[in-house]
Amino acid sequence: MVLTLAVAFAVTPALSMLPAQAAEDPAKADSQGIDSALPGPLDRSGLDETGPAQDGAADEQVPQETPRVIVRFEDPATSEAQKEQIVAEAAQEADILPAEDQAPKGAAASAETEPQRVKQTADSADVLEFPEELEVQEQSDLIDQLEEDPRVAYAEPDRLARAAATNDPLYGSQFTLEDRSVPEAWSMATGRGVTIGVLDTGVIRHPDLDAKRVSGYDFVSPYPADFPVDGNGRDADPSDPGDNKSSRCQATWHGSHVAGIAAASTNNGIGIAGVARDASIQPVRVLGSCTYGYESDIADGIRYAAGQTIGGAVNRNPSDVINMSLALYGQCGRTMQSAIDYAVGSNVPVVVAAGNSADNANMYPPANCSNVIAVGAADENGQVASYSNTGPNVDVLAPGGHGTRYSIISTIDAGTTGPIRASYGYKNGTSMATPFVSGTVAMMLEANPDLTPAQIERTLKSTSTGPLGRLQVSPADAVRAVAPAKTATKPTPTGPFRDVPASNQFATEITWAKNQKYLNGWSDGTFRPTQNIDRNAMAAVAYRMAGSPAYTPPKVSPYKDVSPSSAFYKEITWARSQGLLTGWSDGTFRPLNDIDRNATAALLYRMSGSPAYTAPKTSSFKDVRPGSAFYKEIHWMSAQGITTGWNDGTFRPLDQTHRDAMAAFLYRFEN
């Protein structure tokens, strides 16, 4: 899936045909190399009259050609060789590869002709790559052949994506803040305690951003070798390296510009003010060379930001809201939709750009995906910006900038290839409108942490204003609508954790779990109640609840991904010996995988000794059918009063179990 940044960068058909230079003029983006220490308002006199980093032009048609295909196989135990063979057979049927009887005599299957597996996504789909990109018709034929194969659950192209009152001296240049009720919103909330995940090109070192960053991750694939730009593929460094590995493109610093709009440091005597002035920023790098990124990488980035462990990447501080200033052409892919659903199911709203093609947004993912808040751009008069996508898929408008005078200033670097000096620059686009909304959401979540993504979306729409009708986001009205009647007197934590106030619905249960030494917190005094609990931790909890019995673990591990020196090795192997937690058929335990509510019900049932129990013929939950996995265990859990499910009559068996919910389950289990 080819995503474009929701600024108007040109997109080319293939990575091998990237442009000699990006559409964005770096001289304009640098705003004359304004240094971060420069006081006073920014001088625009040297800027081109067409507008700096003009994102308002319509995007080129985003090509859908890609050498990759995402395939979800029905049997997770299918070998890599079998997977490659299944795709190769489909390619032969689609006339993409020569049939075996047409191949040169003595020719052997090789990386020169057949697809090669490059990675697996977080939801266990495989990404396979052909040596050359496939035309649109070839892609369509291949997908049709794959989905006719009973061994394949689904297939789709892995399309490329590309990027969409203070003492701060440049505050006067930020018409979007003063004119759009942001200072009024600050009297009620500033985003304190809320983390905004910025899925983009990464974030640079910058005095207006450094104090706001929490640890993130770089998910850019190392294929081809120069694609990551930083030279090392996926790693724990999500900083933006620019484009210093290639002369084909100029550095855009897009992710840093987006991050600054959302949450730049404020009242620090330099630069600009962020919408959510006290929120944190989690950089998740998903766009590499020339601001391209694969959809499969972006999907993994979404899941990581929402708290899912991806490979060895453990997110100890999940984002509370996700910002994606990205846009592409086509239908919403299943890989992307699944990742978005995971985030929203984890109570993390996903705010996305509508795109800059002056078109209907219903053909521009992720704006046309379900469960997102899609943001169009408004100009200085509150009208739809000339470049902004529109239509029923657009939920709200926010300032995106227009022309030279009313473009959006934010944090960038002065370098044209790699970083050299912190600076400020101007851009226009739905990319700039999106973090304005994400910052608003952060303030709403500070005012009312219990809001669901659906409630946030409804509130943004119901409180929006402007000449176009009820579309343009009003931060003050949105925060006011969700804030408790008395916002000035917030409850003070009385328990052992500073992030669990007395008003928390599970404060008693969390305190009890801490006192029982079943669930501990972190060294910073937090419990992180909405963070998912992983299989490592559940093994430890089960062991502690059993009284930490004497047990000698085996010298040779029964799991190939858990060594005898691993944390919780004793607890994991003990849980296995008791039949409480088992592994997978491939010999793994997957200790860092989050545990879902299905598995939680099974674990508690086994910890109770697997008592005799006859489940009702009619389900108590509308999303748990008789005969489904763990039907008996879930209803036993309900019968014991350990779970009540949700008010809408669902149990949500595939949702991840949060730490606060686990504390409640354990409390009810023993009391």
Residues tagged active-site: 200, 254, 431
Say if strands 396-399 and 373-378 run parallel, antiparallel, or are unpaired.
Answer: parallel
d(CA 481, CA 511): 31
Q: How many residues are present in the chain?
A: 671
Decide: helix, strand or coil at residue 659: helix
Q: At what angle do helices 453-463 and 475-482 cross, to 10 degrees?
A: 130
SS (H, E, C) 151-187: CEEEEEECCEEECCCCCCCCHHHCHHHHCCCHHHHHC
Q: Are 161 and 4 in contact (CB under 8 A)?
A: yes
Q: Which residue type, as a one-letter code, is found at position 524?
A: D
Q: Which residue has the tokens 């440049």?
A: 170
Cβ–Cβ under 8 Å, residues 252 and 9: yes
Q: How many CB atoms lie within 10 A of CB 77?
A: 9
Residue 505 φ then ψ, to 5°:
-60, -20
- Whole-angstrom Cα distance, residue 122 to residue 120? 7
Tokens of 662: 């686990």
The type of residue at 285 is R
Tokens representing residue 10 in the block: 């040109």
Q: Phi first, then psi: give them for residue 77, nearest 5 degrees.
A: -85, 0
Taking alpha carbons only, the member of 344, 6, 28 closest to residue 200 is: 6
Q: Are 669 and 604 in contact (CB under 8 A)?
A: yes
End-to-end CA distance of the chain: 51
What's the Cα-to-Cα distance from 554 to each of 549, 557, 577, 583, 607, rounded to whole Å?
15, 6, 10, 16, 22
Contact predicate 134/66, CB 8 Å: yes
Q: Are 82 and 24 in contact (CB under 8 A)?
A: no
Q: Is the peptide bond preceding residue 366 cis, with omega within 30 degrees of 0? A: yes
Instruction: Answer for the pair 204, 422: CB distance below 8 angstroms, yes or no.
Output: yes
Query: Is 656 strand, coil or helix?
Result: strand
Nearest to 323 by CA among 265, 406, 243, 261: 261
Q: Which residues contact 501 (CB under 8 A, 6 or more apart)?
A: 490, 491, 492, 493, 494, 507
The 3-state DSSP class for residue 142 equals: helix
The number of CA neighbours under 13 Å toward the Cβ of 381 is 7
**Type of residue numbered 453:** P
